[in-house]
Amino acid sequence: MMTKRQNRMTLVALLVIGVSLAGYLGLKAFNENLLYFFSPTDVAEGKAPKGKSFRLGGMVAKGSVKRDGIKVMFDVTDYANTFRISYSGILPDLFKEGQGIITTGSLVNGVFMATEVLAKHDENYMPPEVADALEKTKNKQ
């Protein structure tokens, strides 16, 4: 027979274990759903995850946009490296060549298969990740 104190200590121990387990599972699920941002140079250097979704951002290369119905192919560059993007869907109204964008998707045989394309809001706005990546690339040159 357990005393009141032993019952209380067992309950506290089970509560601590339960909260710890819930915290661990929550952090694990959160970490698996994070989409990290990479520049074309980061991807070329092999820093992007293999077989997982991530964000790739840069400038849409001038003269690279090719449309075939709803499918669009274009290049994204950080002026040091360039990647081909394939996207099926309706592009944002603000999408155009020479503009900063962020795409979400994964790399398949050297082509980035995008599931989402985000364009900058106006002429003065650049996604912070894209601006930082372009700045790093300029500093390397």
- Known binding-site residues for heme equal 121, 125
Angle, alpha carbons 47-61-96 (nearest 5°): 115
Q: Is 79 helix (H, G, I), strand (E, B) or coil?
A: coil
Angle, alpha carbons 31-33-36 (nearest 5°): 80
DSSP 8-state class, residue 80: S
| Chain centre distance of CA 13 | 39
* % helix, strand, coil for the chain, step of 5: 35, 30, 35
Give the residue numbers of the binding site.
Answer: 121, 125
